């Protein structure tokens, strides 16, 4: 280290003794905010760091949102004519009910199930009667929603 730099350290002066000297006290380091072996962020550098952190946080939020909005796996479809035997249905209430029917009623139910398209998510609403007929049955919650949709609202009510 040069004599000027040594004197500068001993006196604790904040002015650079030799702006042309390289190293710690060069104009380049002074302009970046490095003084007396301490690194200080200038307003410009601080703004850059804040912008970078903000962008990283925004990217993280977008990625989390995208992952949360991934669609659930689609329900297994049963296209018209695709069902060849009742054992192809997933285990559940409908399959158990169909297994309790006599063989002729089971064949009738299979014919019904092969005649229309449905998905695995439809199975809780599908029911079988004692002769093998297949029908959709709406739950009480579904019925309450349908009744609410059919009732007139105040805006739609007739005025005398």
Q: What pLDDT is attached to residue 48?
A: 81
**pLDDT band at residue 54 under the 50/70/90 scheme:** confident
**Quick one: pLDDT at residue 90?**
93
Residue 130 — pLDDT band, cuts 50, 70, 90?
A: very high
> Can you tell me the mean pLDDT for 106-117?
95
* CA atoms within a 13 Å half-sphere pointing along the CA-CB vector of 48: 5
Most confident of 47-51, 58-62, 86-90: 86-90
**Ranges 8-17, 38-47, 132-141, 142-151, most confident:** 132-141
Contact 45, 32 (CB under 8 A): yes
Query: Span 43-67, mean pLDDT?
Result: 80
Distances 129 to 31, 98, 103, 124 between C-alpha atoms, Å? 86, 9, 14, 15
Q: pTM for this structure?
A: 0.46
Domain locations in the chain?
3-68, 77-143
Average pLDDT over residues 83-110: 94
Report the b/e string of 70-90 with b at 16+ CB within 10 A: eeeeeeeebeeeebeebeebe
* pLDDT (mean) for 41-69: 78
């Amino acid at each position: 280290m040069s004599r000027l730099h040594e004197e500068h350290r001993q006196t604790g002066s904040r002015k650079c003794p030799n702006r042309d000297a390289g190293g710690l006290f060069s104009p380049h380091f002074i302009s970046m905010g490095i003084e007396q072996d301490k690194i200080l962020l200038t307003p410009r550098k601080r703004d850059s760091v804040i912008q970078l952190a903000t962008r990283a946080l925004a990217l993280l939020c977008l990625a989390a949102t995208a992952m949360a909005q991934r669609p659930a796996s689609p329900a297994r479809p049963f296209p018209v004519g695709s069902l060849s035997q009742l054992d192809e249905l997933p285990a559940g209430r409908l399959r158990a009910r169909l297994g309790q029917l006599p063989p002729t009623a089971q064949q009738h139910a299979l014919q019904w199930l092969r005649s229309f398209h449905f998905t695995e998510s439809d199975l809780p609403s599908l029911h079988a009667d004692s002769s093998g007929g297949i029908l959709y049955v709406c739950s009480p919650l579904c019925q309450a929603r349908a009744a609410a949709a059919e009732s007139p609202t105040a805006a739609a009510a007739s005025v005398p």
